[in-house]
């Protein structure tokens, strides 16, 4: 099953081809449609914490490294 419907993909391509939207803005808009919340298992959370402690990373640096939306 595709993440986005064929209709949505076609509409985005048509907007880019017709010059109504740039490829960059279309990509950013599509990224905005992605799932915003994720649930990580305990093993992942523990590995993130270990890496943070071992490397002396801040919450912000750790969030950026592991692509975690909320640094808290």
1/28 same-domain check: yes
pTM metric for this prediction: 0.46
Number of domains in the chain: 2
22/9 same-domain check: yes
- For residue 18, give both structure tokens: 């017709």
29/44 same-domain check: no
66/47 same-domain check: yes
Residue that the structure tokens 């992605």 belong to = 34
72/41 same-domain check: yes
7/29 same-domain check: yes
- How far is residue 69's CA from residue 31's CA, in Å, rounded to a whole number? 14
Of 1-5, 12-16, 51-55, 56-60, minimum mean pLDDT range: 1-5
Q: pLDDT-derived band of residue 72, with 50, 70 and 90 as boundaries? A: low
Q: What are phi and psi of 35, to 5 degrees?
A: -60, 130
Structural domain harbouring 58: 37-72
Q: What is the pLDDT of residue 56?
A: 94
Q: What is the mean pLDDT of the chain?
A: 81
């Amino acid at each position: 099953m595709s993440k986005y419907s064929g209709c949505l993909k076609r509409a985005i391509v048509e907007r880019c081809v017709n010059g109504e939207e740039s490829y960059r803005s279309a990509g950013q808009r599509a990224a905005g449609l992605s799932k915003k919340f994720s649930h990580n298992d305990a093993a992942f959370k523990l590995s993130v914490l270990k890496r943070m402690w071992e490397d002396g990373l801040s919450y912000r640096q750790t969030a950026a490294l592991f692509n975690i939306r909320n640094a808290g």
